[in-house]
Amino acid sequence: MINKEENYPNADGWNLKQLWPTKKLKEENLYLYNIAINKYLSTTEVEVEDYGKMILFGGYSYLSLGNHPKILKSTNECMKQYGTGTDGVRLLAGTTSIHKKLEKKIASFKSTESAITYSSGYVANFTTISSLVGRHDTIISDQLNHASINDGCVFSRATIRRFRHNDMNHLEHRLKQNNKGNVLVIADAVFSMEGDIFNLPVASRLCKKYGALLMIDECHSTGVIGRTGKGIEEHFDLPSDSIDIKMGTLGKAIPSQGGYIASSEELCDILRHRSGGFIYSGANSPLNEAASLAAFEVIEEEPWRVEKLHENTTYAKNILEMANVPLVKSETAILPILCGDDWYAWRLAKHCLDNGIFILAVPYPVVPKGKAILRLSINTDHSKQQIDYLKDVIVDGMKKLNLREKENV
């Protein structure tokens, strides 16, 4: 029994305000996260709780496939055959024929021998990294890699060496060091908060030169870059073996849920028997797998979607830059608007929501202190009129917020 007289630590000693200013944000009507979307009106418009009809510029559905007839039909047919779930984990009673068909399609799409699917992109990164390397090995990681990569690195207990963002000279310096055991180099293909593209040609050459495995997170590149959306290897016109481990998501350009690893048959077999995210996690719903499979087929059958995405991205970037909107340098459909101060970003996001634009702020600690952004994403179905209106709302909001700041000085 606990002695109540003893001086045990308790919640009274915690300063939760230092962790996240939720209370203050709510007091100022600036807590804008977890807002419910009541209905998808189209691939670019949503009905949002308390706000009504809005143009969606804060999502990840780059190719506007969420309501594609082929994907909906495939999902409906799958439900009749398999129901809504499975009977267990993949190694036991959780694998269906649709799981195997999807993995075969992913391997074909990414030009690898095999593929393995997971419940999310986060799980795919975390469990793959922590399964392949251990405390006697070394990980060399880009300093702006996604949190799922960073968490997997820490959990692996390997020696972690970071290289400056996209700095190939610093990467080579790290590769030349006295690294322990097996060496794994990891980077995003497209960096989700910056929108820039990893220098794969040089990184791949360096990894081969120094005998390191190269793992690339393609969550924001598959379906987005490359002439037909095949990703970063196609973007740079590189051979399909330029990356040893290709990781991706089934929840962005692919409008479903889950993540995957595409690699050699040997490596995927190892993951099936060593990665906890596969062994101990319930199998993905066949409905999600069917939607993902159909989406990959649509990308191959309708290459115009990738072309239109590139066209829309170029148009949006040009008009925003001409209007002096401070964009973070980006090469992709992610066009981050640099706000700097967290509170400025939150207020600009509120101005957008009040004017029918759904786009939210990304503050510290997701981005470095003083580098808060509005994370803007373009998709295939955005019209020029919608993009023009977005620009007008952003410019108007910046003008009003800057005037307010001057008044408060």
Question: Which band of pLDDT confidence, cut at 50, 70 and 90, is reported for residue 17?
Answer: low
pLDDT higher than threshold 50 for residue 4: no
Predicted confidence (pLDDT) per residue in 197-210, tens digit = 999 999 999 999 99
pLDDT of residue 2: 42
Residues taking part in catalysis: 192, 220, 252
Total-model pTM: 0.93
Q: What is the mean pLDDT of residues 43-68?
A: 96
Q: Do the Cβ atoms of 184 and 129 come closer than 8 Å?
A: yes
pLDDT of residue 268: 98
| CA-based nearest residue to 331, from 250, 253, 225, 231 | 225
pLDDT of residue 23: 86
Q: Do the Cβ atoms of 287 and 75 come closer than 8 Å?
A: yes
Q: Do the Cβ atoms of 215 and 185 come closer than 8 Å?
A: yes
User: DSSP for 69-99?
Assistant: HHHHHHHHHHHHHH-S--SSBIIIII--HHH
Q: List domains and CATH numbers for the chain.
A: 21-56+303-408 (3.90.1150.10), 69-301 (3.40.640.10)
Distance, CA of 52 to CA of 353 (rounded, Å)? 10
pLDDT of residue 22: 86
Predicted confidence (pLDDT) per residue in 106-159, tens digit = 999 999 999 999 999 999 999 999 999 999 999 999 999 999 999 999 999 999
Predicted confidence (pLDDT) per residue in 360-375, tens digit = 999 998 999 999 999 9
In terms of residues, how long is the chain? Answer: 409
